[in-house]
């Protein structure tokens, strides 16, 4: 799927699991998710849902932070066997989740930096910016990302679930790619066969444009209406 579809799937995916995990404990982590955590988790998942495509030089995520993500993408492409190989596997999802969770335990500053990076990737994937002016688009993205990150920090958002959200976002990515014709090797490196290859729809074809993207957009709207107590959140006049 294309970047915007992956990003939308991250938002919808997080909103879908919030009612399931709310008030529970998972791997020793307590899920007490208020409006701030729902918004933060949606954006984190949206950004993480683009990470596997770092192995592609033309992907949205690879272009987000210029040379930094381009070089990182080249490294990942080399280490994980090229596009839609190792980065589209459970191994990569677990690896990213563990790394981020360790960062969350190590440093609050590291958490905020990683959240900033993921939100920036999410906004880029969701289409915020100017396609014809990369400099202006970068400035808009950075300002919006900084504002959202600061607002979430000021609201006291608890990011103890960050690693799980990142792993979940990565899994949502390759689950989305499994329903396209290329398929993905989700059991790499143990088994490199692409699951779903030749059986799905064409990436950026009519099914994705006219069915998947509209359905995901509707999912975001429905999730927002269901999860947020709008009368309590909106100011009274």
What tens digit of pLDDT does each residue of 130-172 get?
455 666 677 788 888 999 999 999 999 999 899 999 999 999 9
Predicted confidence band at 19 (pLDDT cuts at 50, 70, 90)?
A: very high
What pLDDT shows up at residue 223?
93
What pLDDT shows up at residue 97?
93
What pLDDT shows up at residue 183?
80
CB-CB contact of 101 with 163 (8 Å): yes
Beta strands in the chain (DSSP E): 25-26, 29-30
Distance from C-alpha of 127 to C-alpha of 106, rounded to nearest angstrom: 32
Residue 204 confidence (pLDDT) above 80: no
CB-CB contact of 158 with 102 (8 Å): no
DSSP 235: P
What pLDDT shows up at residue 237?
61
What tens digit of pLDDT does each residue of 46-80 get?
999 999 988 888 787 888 887 888 888 888 888 88
Mean pLDDT, range 208-214, rounded to an integer:
88
> Quick check: helix, strand or coil at residue 2?
coil
Mean pLDDT, range 104-115, rounded to an integer:
89
Provide the mean pLDDT of the chain: 87
Please report, in angstroms and rounded to a whole number, the separation of the first and last CA atoms in the chain: 44
Other CB atoms within 10 A of residue 169 CB: 33
Distance from C-alpha of 52 to C-alpha of 40, rounded to nearest angstrom: 20
């Amino acid at each position: 799927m294309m970047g915007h579809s992956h990003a939308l799937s991250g938002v919808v995916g997080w909103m879908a699991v919030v009612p399931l995990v709310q008030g529970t404990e998972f791997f020793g982590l307590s899920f007490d998710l208020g409006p701030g955590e729902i918004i933060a988790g949606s954006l984190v998942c949206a950004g993480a849902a683009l990470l596997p495509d770092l192995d592609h030089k033309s992907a949205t995520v690879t272009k987000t932070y210029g040379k930094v993500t381009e070089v990182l993408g080249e490294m990942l492409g080399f280490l994980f066997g090229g596009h839609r190989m190792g980065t589209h596997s459970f191994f990569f999802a677990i690896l990213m989740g563990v790394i981020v969770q360790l960062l969350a335990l190590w440093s609050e500053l590291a958490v905020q930096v990683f959240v900033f990076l993921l939100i920036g990737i999410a906004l880029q994937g969701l289409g915020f910016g100017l396609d014809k002016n990369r400099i202006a688009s970068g400035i808009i993205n950075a300002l919006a990302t900084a504002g959202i990150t600061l607002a979430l920090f000021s609201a006291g958002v608890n990011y103890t679930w960050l690693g799980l959200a990142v792993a979940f976002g990565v899994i949502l990515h390759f689950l989305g790619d499994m329903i396209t014709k290329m398929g993905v090797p989700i059991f790499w490196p143990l088994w490199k066969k692409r699951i779903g290859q030749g059986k799905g729809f064409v990436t950026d074809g009519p099914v994705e444009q006219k069915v998947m993207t509209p359905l995901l957009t509707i999912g975001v709207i429905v999730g927002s209406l269901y999860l947020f107590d709008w009368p309590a959140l909106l100011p009274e006049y």
